[in-house]
Amino acid sequence: MESKRLLYMERITSKRLTQCFRCNHYLEKKRCKAFPEKNIPKGYLYGTVNHSLVLGNQKGNYTYEVNQKYREQEERYKASDAVAVQELEENKKELPRVIIERIKKRQIDLRKLKKVVVSASGPLRSKFDLSMEFYPAEMTIENLAISSFKYESKSILKGLEALNKKSSFILEIYGEKEWKYIFDENFLW
């Protein structure tokens, strides 16, 4: 069955420094006491992996320790992350409800619309992608403003990030009431 995709993309800049730049052991030029001769591994440097355990390829027993000048900022991040995790389940329910409501307002017969697939990805620090794919293609709502779903989508991604999960999901909506999420750690965008 043919489908048609609508895409929304937004560049996002974050003032949140990753763990390495907030760490007491950070030296300069992508190096720290744990990695003084070579660059810090990208996963740690960009904040996708938490440096809470000593690594086999590092020097000494250094792990992430917040620098005093970033302590207040760190507490705000933790509070923000806690809220995102707390709201995650409600946002997962809200997004399909909002999408279905907007499609119905266009007077589309949802019985003829086999499926709508919503894909969202981050990381939130750099780029936010949101797309909708309509099955069959002739049911595509060309002028549906998918940017109006970005609040709920971003909120889900923030919750996933706070849980140290990959910032991406797929939502499949069938008819008026059935939907499911796919969270795949190995999914590449």
Per domain, the residue ranges of the chain are 4-14+81-182
Once rounded to an integer, what is the mean pLDDT over residues 149-169? 87
pTM over 0.85: no
DSSP helix/strand/coil, 81: helix
Once rounded to an integer, what is the mean pLDDT over residues 81-94? 94
Length of the chain in terms of residues written: 189
- Spell out the residues 6+ positions from residue 75 whose beta carbon is closer than 8 angstroms to its own: none
Query: Which CATH topology does 4-14+81-182 take?
Result: 3.30.500
pLDDT digits (tens, 9 = 90+) for 99-148: 999 998 888 888 888 999 999 988 656 678 899 999 998 888 888 888 88
CB 110 within 8 A of CB 175: yes
CB 17 within 8 A of CB 136: no
- Spell out the residues 6+ positions from residue 65 whose beta carbon is closer than 8 angstroms to its own: 23, 24, 25
